[in-house]
Amino acid sequence: MNSLRPAPAATFLDGAVQPGAIGAWECNLANNALTWTDGVYDLFGLRRGSEIYRSSTLDLYEESSRREMERLRASAIREGRGFALDCRIVTAAGEKRWMRLVVGVGHQNGRPFRIFGSKQDITAEKELWTGLSARARGEPLTSVTARSGLGDALRHVQPGHDAASARIALVIFSIDGFGPLLDRFGKVSGGVLERCLAERLKRVFPDSLSIEKAGEGSFTVLLRMPGDRRHLQAALNGMRPLLCRPVPHGALVLDFTLSIGASLGTPERCRAPQELLAEAEAALLVAGTAGGNCVNIFDGPIARPRFAGSSAPA
């Protein structure tokens, strides 16, 4: 029996999620004097050890990030509780980066006297969620504008159109090792497998809002969600064996597996269609790097840690 086996897990993530430049910092609240370690200088593209002033470093934040950071900073000092925030910055050389800012509050005699924490370059992590996942598989990023059916369906379930219907799931089904299948059996066999998977998806999800081809060996399915994340995980795990039944093709039997990535949209957690797609792409990549033949659902934004007041050294 001829069969298709999952391709080896991609090693791309090894580089994509390695920690970027990271360093510690401190700000004396009495005079706004800053202290940075080398990692923070590198993150902002400034010469290590050079003199720094808070007023000038604020100019390196993009406007929306600066406003949000200042709001949270004032609240942290007032309430004595820290926060974490992902900020957009522009280095001294004009390079755009994403930075994860973590802030704690130090107290002395019951009053805040400094804030401190870490700053980390997370540009690679952000790129992963916004399209690097698709490039790692050698495919174009699934595009709302390129998929009119999916794009229309997504726009019609956005809260601005109908808040009550905004509980949805965007699921991407991708045939593991589709490239090696084409190399081994040719494009005709690949087309047979794609057509069979498309028909099975239509039968398994008769009430779907959209089923669209997303690339070679992959399809997007947009669903209304009657339940929560756990319900979706169980449903997809149950349907996967049905979708992966061997496909006869002449003298061959094409035996295949699927990687499945999904993202949830709810009225409480609303994102633009491009973000929903990027999250499903990222979840799919995680499923692929785990060896394929599994389901992964995007976990949502990183939880922001809360810090108790502390006067420990930064």
In this predicted model, what pLDDT tens digit does every residue of 271-288 receive, in sequence order? 566 777 878 888 888 888
Range of the domain at 205: 127-297
Q: Which of 240, 246, 260, 243 is nearest to 189 (CA)?
A: 246
* Residue 2 within a domain: no
Q: Are residues 113 and 186 in the same domain?
A: no
Q: Are residues 131 and 268 in the same domain?
A: yes
pLDDT along the chain (314 residues), means of 10: 36 41 90 93 94 94 94 94 91 91 91 93 69 45 46 57 63 90 84 93 89 88 82 89 89 89 75 74 82 82 37 35
Pairing status of strand 218-224 against strand 168-175: antiparallel
Q: Are residues 284 and 137 in the same domain?
A: yes
- Which CATH number goes with the domain that contains 131? 3.30.70.270
What is the pLDDT at residue 216?
Answer: 85
Q: Are residues 206 and 115 in the same domain?
A: no
Q: What is the pTM of this model?
A: 0.51
* Residue 313 within a domain: no
The residues near 121 (Cβ < 8 Å, ≥ 6 apart) are 19, 20, 21, 22, 43, 97, 98, 99
Q: Are residues 100 and 177 in the same domain?
A: no
> What's the domain count of the chain?
2
* Residue 133 within a domain: yes
In contact, 267 and 167? CB cutoff 8 Å: yes
In contact, 218 and 139? CB cutoff 8 Å: yes
In contact, 261 and 275? CB cutoff 8 Å: no
Q: Are residues 116 and 186 in the same domain?
A: no
* Residue 312 within a domain: no
What is the pLDDT at residue 301?
Answer: 42
> How far apart (Å, rounded) are the C-alpha atoms in residues 196 and 202?
10
